[in-house]
Amino acid sequence: MDHNYVILSNSNVLVRVTASDIVYISSDGSYSTMVLIDGRKHMFSFNLSSFEKQLETQLGLESKTFIRLGKSLIINSIYIYSINIPAQELILSCSSNPGEFVLNASRDALKSLKLMIETILKTRRLL
């Protein structure tokens, strides 16, 4: 995924980023904020569903790295560090960059994410 770029634009801004630099995308109604691994943030005037479609269109199968988590988050699964269901907390982190991104999500969303990861791990062990 290191050489795949995502190009996003709206009426005032065009941004071209390496897909693997996107840590997460959060939404507040019809606005979405893309957060990059270096901490930079870019706001766009479209909702999370539009963002999801852009990722699928531009990245194809590699868009599966991005996981929709509830109504207001898309996360890049390569950065999942920890899932704390009772605290309703998801920590995204990268070993090559200091710092971490602490996100809040519903218990149900975090349970589903945890189950998805555990299922993938079990499947890999069987291969």
pLDDT at 126: 67
CATH number of the domain at 5-126, please?
Answer: 2.40.50.1020
Q: What pLDDT, in 10s, does the model give residues 41-79?
A: 999 988 999 999 999 999 999 999 999 999 999 999 999
Residue 120 structure tokens: 């993938």
| Mean pLDDT of all residues in 30-36 | 93
Does 96 score more than 80 pLDDT?
no
Strands (E) across the chain are located at: 5-9, 14-18, 22-28, 31-36, 41-44, 66-69, 73-76, 80-84, 89-94, 97-104
- How high does pLDDT run on average in the chain? 91
C-alpha dihedral (21, 27, 33, 34), degrees to nearest 10: 10
Q: What is the DSSP letter of 95?
A: T
